[in-house]
Amino acid sequence: MSIITLTSDMGLQDYYVGSLKGFILRQYPEARLIDISHSVQPFNILQAAFFLRNCISDFPEGTIHLIAVNSEPVINFGRPEDGKFPSIMKFKGQYFVSTDNGFFSLLLKDAEPEKIYRIDGAVSSPAALRYPAKNILAKAAAQLASGIPADEIGEEVDYFNKAFAVNAVIEENLLKGTVIHIDHYGNAITNITEDLFKRVGNDEPFTIYFRRKEYYIDEISHAYGDVPEGEKLALFNSGGYLEIAINKGVSGNGGGANSLFGLHINDIVRIEFSPRGSRSTLESLF
């Protein structure tokens, strides 16, 4: 039984996800379908990549991931490298089926794929383009699940489209990032990673500022329960990203970090480091 995960921007209020699942099961009834999320912001391939990157290590080799976000192909037969073709990427022993719209590069970051295949004949039928996520991508995912090799579904190519994400910025004694996601609990997740924090900070004292320095936190918690309910905290989550949160602060129970602090996606989060022996650390003694 093959695992096929589904990530889309279709939401759940319409019939689209049900149609997608029914189509896959009609092609390959033994498929095991697992939803990653259908709440990706419309056409937001960066968010889709963020969701997948944080959970693909939990799946076994051979898993097939169908990404139905901004799926409409863009065809350029004269310069195929400038097109956005339905494609299959193999990475870490797993398969990712998506239109090559920049998603692959956002998922990979600095890593390299094992293989890239452009799905054969994907744009030969005008009818298929009415619902490419189902008629092209889901069909390829079902074929992979049924045991058809990727090189029989598509032609191997040595290029894929690049898209660029905003990275945290390093300055002298300063690390500046942005909020990249607000989760279901109202936690604000930033693009500052634990590895970068340790490399820049080098165990120096620090202060995390957000909302233009209206609020600050000067320690990293290991778990939400390290602070009393309703108190703010900062921690590195399971994906290794800095998160600003409120312990049990959800809607109806005081509010999450996004509502209490007015945090939004793209807001700036600053970490200022104070080297030991500097004026700022000496002032803290008085």
Domain boundaries, the chain: 3-157, 169-283
SS3 content of the chain, % helix, strand, coil (to 5): 25, 30, 45
Spatial distance between the Cα atoms of 56 and 61, rounded to a whole number of angstroms: 10
Who contacts 37 (Cβ-Cβ below 8 Å, separation ≥6)?
7, 8, 51
Give strand ranges (E) for 38-127. Answer: 64-68, 86-91, 94-99, 115-119
Whole-number pLDDT of residue 78: 67
Q: Which of 186, 189, 185 is nearest to 177 (CA)?
A: 189
Per-residue pLDDT of the chain (286 residues; tens, 9 = 90+): 699 999 999 999 999 999 999 999 999 999 999 999 999 999 999 999 999 999 999 999 999 999 999 999 887 666 666 778 999 999 999 999 999 999 999 999 889 999 999 998 776 677 677 899 999 999 999 999 999 999 999 999 998 999 988 889 999 899 999 999 999 889 999 999 999 999 998 889 999 999 877 889 999 999 999 999 889 999 999 999 999 999 987 666 666 888 888 899 999 999 999 876 555 554 554 4
**CATH topology assigned to domain 169-283:** Elongation Factor Tu (Ef-tu); domain 3 (2.40.30)
Whole-number pLDDT of residue 129: 77
Q: How would you write 103-148 as a 3-class SS string?
A: HHHHHHCCCCCCEEEEECCCCCCHHHHHCHHHHHHHHHHHHHHCCC
Spatial distance between the Cα atoms of 172 and 273, rounded to a whole number of angstroms: 9
Spatial distance between the Cα atoms of 88 and 13, rounded to a whole number of angstroms: 28
Identify whether the C-beta of residue 271 lies closer than 8 Å to the C-beta of residue 198.
Answer: no
Q: Which tokens in the block code for residue 223?
A: 């778990």
Identify whether the C-beta of residue 243 lies closer than 8 Å to the C-beta of residue 234.
Answer: yes
Q: Which of 198, 202, 206 is nearest to 280 (CA)?
A: 206
Torsion, Cα of 77, 83, 84, 88 (10° steps): 70
Element containing residue 53 per DSSP (H, E): helix 45-53
From residue 169, alpha-carbon distances to 2, 49, 129, 283, 285 in Å are: 41, 21, 40, 27, 30
Q: Which of 270, 277, 269, 283 is nearest to 204 (CA)?
A: 277
From residue 213, alpha-carbon distances to 40, 179, 258, 283 in Å are: 30, 15, 15, 19
Whole-number pLDDT of residue 121: 78
**CATH topology assigned to domain 3-157:** Rossmann fold (3.40.50)
Whole-number pLDDT of residue 285: 42
